[in-house]
Structures are given as structure tokens and as C-alpha cells.
Structure 1
Amino acid sequence: MGFYKEDYEMIESLLESGRLKKGFKVCEFGAQDLCEDRNGERILNSNDRISPKGVYESYGAKEYCCIDLERYHNALNFDLGKDFKTEYGFDEKFDLVTCKDVGHWVFNQEAMWNNLHNLCKKGGVIIWRSPFGGGFAQGCYAYHHYKVLQLVFFNNYLLLGGYITEYLHDVANGKFDNFDKKPAEKLKMRNGADFIDAVEEYMGREGCWRYLPLKQGLPSVSFELMFLKQEDSPFIPPLTYYDEPERTITRNAKSVAQNCCPKISKNKVAIFGAARAGGVANEFAKASGLNVACVIDDVQTGTANFCAGGGGIIVSFNEFLEKYQNQCDFILVGPCQKGEIEGREGLKIPVFKLDMRWFVG
């Protein structure tokens, strides 16, 4: 549980964007230790543990507390897996709530996330760091990156970006006290639509420590993400099930649109494909509040049978360019759509493809 160079950068970015303001209140899950300075240089200080409280105060925090059963740094002695309000009468609200390298040790995940969610005020930010797929011997859980994105959608968080890094824990001298850590890198993502691919690109690169034999150390890859809490509503676990795509695609559609769609200003889209994939895209458009201007198809003509009412007229690509392109924010493409529209000559607006991994998996 540490405070690193990327943590300074996150706080600075939140202050610069106005997400945090001077006088903010912060609560950290786990008694975090100051491990690096602003330049990423390791802080060496005998056996003493240094709290990051002073760093937060230097950025303008007016209140700092941390929660940890081991009670370092004057921590509140709460079990993260129990409801803070009912067990301890603790019901404060904070501008920033963090959970770094500790959440995956808590067996009751729903209770832990419920506490994180409830302590963060509406308009506040949650910062969360934990191992995922390949966090060998790291706690009770390693998180699936699809589920992390679905957690964002279920709770109408806005994913503000984050970092990714690797650890290699020394087997011979103790699993967790001695470790190597690579410098954290910003995830290569414009918005939530790029999150899954950005994580998988990092995981698949040559030289990733997860490919090393275990006799060299216990590897883990962790991401650290920032979530903006936009609603004062109960926490919802990201539990999904398989269903027909027409129904699955409507899950949390407004949050998916906010996190993943290209910029929306005209509130009109065109759908590519007049067959089933286009119909699935149409269900997403209806659920997310987007208006369909037309349906583009290279073969069919007339009216798309999935569009009751307006917006179902089928046009050729050339007709779309001439009559509809200037009305639309982007072209919406359903999952498993045959054919390709992206890159065609004359196309000046983005193409947005729905990914079923956002809705189930």
C-alpha cells in the first residue's frame, strides 16, 4: 500500500480539471505509506512508515483520515468488509476516497465497494488500485477488466482515466515486503471505449513480468483508475447474465454512451446495417436517448423493420453523405455487423462500434 509518482499526478490532474478544489476532504482505505517523491525517487527511511497526509495537505486538503485494522497512521479501526454506517456509525462524506492495494484482500467485496461508494459524495472521486487477471498470489481476488468497466456503467461513474504498472515480489525474502515495481504508465485511452484494449495491449507486450517463471518472483499487474461519482444512488454490483443481444445492449446504455461514445452535440446518429445487428444498435440508441436520423445499408432499401416511427428510412452511403451526414454526431454500428463503413471516402464523422464485452462477460 503505497503513494507513488502517479498518485501525485492524479491529484494534480484532478485539481487542474476542477474535479477537486482546495479544502477537499480525503479518506483512504488502508494506511498508505509514502514510497516515492514527486519525481518518482524511492523514499528510504529506516523502518519508519510515513503517511501521505502531508502530501495531501500540501495540495490543499483540509481533512485526511485512513481506515485500517492495523491502525498505522492513526487509522480508524474499521473492517472494510463490514458496513461502516451500521457497524461503526460512520457516515461521513469525502471529496476523494481511495482504495489502493488493499481491496483485493477483503473477502466481502460488495460490502467493501458499498463503503467506498457511500463515503464518496456526489461529484467526488474514487481512486482505486488493485491487481487484475494475473495477480498471482495477490490477495483473495484478481479483478477482470471487463467487470471493472461494467462496474463503472452500473453505477453511472465517469471513468476519468488511470495508470497501469507491474510488480514482482521477492519469493526468497518474503512475498510482499520486497518487490520491484515498473514506472506506472498512463493507460492509452481516449475514453471508456478504449479501456479494454488498452489493458490488453499492455498485458500482451513482450517483457511483461507475468511471463517470468515463478522462481524469479510473484508477478502482478495493477491498474489505478479514477471514477467520478455522478449520482447519490445505492451501489449496484456489476452482476450480468447472458440474454438476447437486443435486451443485453440496453443495460446501462446511458452510462455507456456517456463513457464511450464520441462527442454528442446534435443528438442524432445514423445506424449502419438494416439487418439484426442494426436492430441491436437501434435498441441501444433508444435506451441511451439518441435519435436515429437514418439507416445506411449497401443492399436494402425502403424502411428498416426495427425502426417503428421516424428514423427508419434506409439510404445508400452516397445518399447519407449528401443528405444526412451533417445532421449526425456519429455512425452507430451494432455488434457482429457484417461489412465495414469506417474509412470510406467522404466520411467525416466518427464510426462508433458497440462492444458486447461492455454489457456481459
Structure 2
Amino acid sequence: MIYFDFAATTPLDSDAAEVFVQASTEYYGNSSSLHDIGSQAQDLLENCREELANLLGVNKKGLYFTSGGSEGNFLAIEALLSTPKKPGKHIIAGLAEHSSIHGVLNRLEEYTITFLPLNSSGLIDLEELKNSITPETVLVTVQHVNSEIGTIQPIEGIARICKEHNIHFHSDFVQSFGKLDLKKITPLVSSFSFSGHKIYGPKGVGGVYVDPAISWRPFFPGGSHERGFRPGTVNVPAIAAMAVAAQKTHDHITESNDNFIALRTALVEALEPIKEFVHIHQADPSSQLPSIIGLRISGIEGQWMMLECNRYGFAISTGSACQIGMQSPAKVTLALGLSQQATKEFIRISFGNSTKREDVRTLGETIVDIVKKFKRLC
């Protein structure tokens, strides 16, 4: 089986795995315990916090570790809403946000939520964002990179608008963490979330940054871990492994993106024989993560195409794994305003650091064969 679903999750890096085992066996103490074994775990934890803060260009005092991106999004939004910059009960969010964002917003019954669609390039329209703001708007939440089509949202422009209107701005950085240099935009947001398993770190670990100038109130009262940000014993081994994986991916960002551009080009070229049926949802290269390709093949349901590819030994997906479990259309297809039939045609192909060009070409050729056989039968 050849894997093309790296946007869903990645294999654990060997160095990260080694650090995880070492930390689990040698730094096994509870980082909140006051004895020497606990202090050793605490020292390792704080070293990881400082290293990740340096990679992200943020103050380590605002960096908190969580169980992953979904919990991070939940806790970040709750933290910002606990101390809004002004009175109000209105929130603006991208319609294509991750399901964890929709989950937390759906429970906020006292708030009015405005969901922004995407334009034809898969981007938020800044003018539409401006026009959606009311005196009651206290929070904007827009993901940095869409997990299903890989478009990179204009964080700088959104942050500028939020600052002008005295509004908190949260951004989901799960798909951009380790893939883009984030130092220029991390100071612009009130909070952001990230996850370890998208960058060859362990599952079940991630983090949140909240601007230290924001005096948030904890969602879970009485917690002693992570300065009260969340309850539960801190997973120091997973955090250490994530820090190793983050450093390795960060060191090869430019090299990796150049490779992904070449792989993306190879796939598009391989699909040339059926180009009249293929529609790739993407932005200009400057606003596109090259490792994620979201596309539709006219007349063929994405789930059927995914199963056919699986039968031929290729693992692709029909969108975010968190959404697939609910058997709902990929949220990005709704945000793009696609028809009900078109939403069913969506598939996602995503590359990782082990993806080979010859495998990409073979995948493309296999999809071409599948489509030709299907069209002949129709």
C-alpha cells in the first residue's frame, strides 16, 4: 500500500520515536511532582517549551501543551471568549474550518455566528470579512491552511482587520505547523493551535499559544497542570518527541516545499489524459500548500474513487479524517458553494517526505485507467 494521506496523519519519525522511548523510561516522573524525578521531567518539559517557542517566534509563557489540535482549538476559543476585548456576542468563522472549530461554536448558544464562504480560489474574501463585522463582534477564527485543498489564508490581512476593530483572532495552524515558516504571523494572532502527528510526531499531543497579555480564565477550574490551562498529567515523552519532529521538519521546510511542487506537477501531468473531467481546487502558488491536492473528477463519486485506488494499492482520502467519520461532505466543498453532486466527487491526495515521484506518476496513471474504464461503462 502506497500512502497518499499525509494531511490526515504521518508516520512517527524514527528519531522522535527514540526520544519518546527514552523520555518514557528515563524522565517518567510527573512534571508537577516536587521530588527530583519530577523535577527532571519538568526540566525536559520546559526545554521543549522553549525550543518550540523559538521555532514559532513566540514568548514561551504563552505556550501550552494539549492532547492535539482539536482540544487546542476548543481551549483557545474558550480562553479568548473568557476575556473579550469589548462586550459582544458575535463571532465570525470560516465555513471551511476544521470540525473541532464548528464543534465548539455550535455549543455557544448565546452567540451569533457568521460563517464566511471561500471564493473560487479557496480563500476568505477580506471585504466580506469587513462587511460581516458588527459592534458586537468579539472573535474571528480562520484556519491558516485548509486541510482539504491546502489553500493558505491571508492571515496578515485578517489580523489587520481584527486589530482595527479590537477583535480577538484565533487561527488553526495544524496544517501549516512544520510546513511553513510561521514566525512572521505568530505575533499577529491572539491564539493559535498546532498538532504533533501532522509533522511525524506522536498522536495525542499538540499545543496552543495564547498571547501572554491576555488574562484568560480556565475552562476547567481547579487544574494545576500547564498553569491551569488544562487538566491531566502532562505527556512529557510525547511533547519531547514532538519537539524533535518539529525541529527536523522546520529545518527542511524550503527543501520539502520544492519537492512537493515537483510532485504536484508530476501528478497534474499524469492526469493530463483525463483533464476534461478533473477540477483541482487551488489558489495561486503563493497561497497554496503544494503537498495537498483537493480535486473532483466529474461524474465519479469520491468515495468510490477512494475505494478503487485502495484496491489498486493507493491510500487517498475524501477529505478530513475528522469529518469522514460523520459521513458528511468535506466542509470545503460547502464553503466553495459546490452542488450536492459535486461535493460527493471530492477526493484529497496529500504528499509526505517519503513520497516518491514514480509513485505519484503511477497513482496518476491508475486514476486515469479507473476513469477511462468507468466512462466506457457509462
Q: Which structure features the higher share of helix residues?
A: 2
**TM beyond 0.5:** no
TM-score, L = length of structure 2: 0.31
Q: Which structure features the higher share of strand residues?
A: 1
Larger RCO: 1 or 2 (CA < 8 Å, sep 6+): 2
TM-score, L = length of structure 1: 0.32
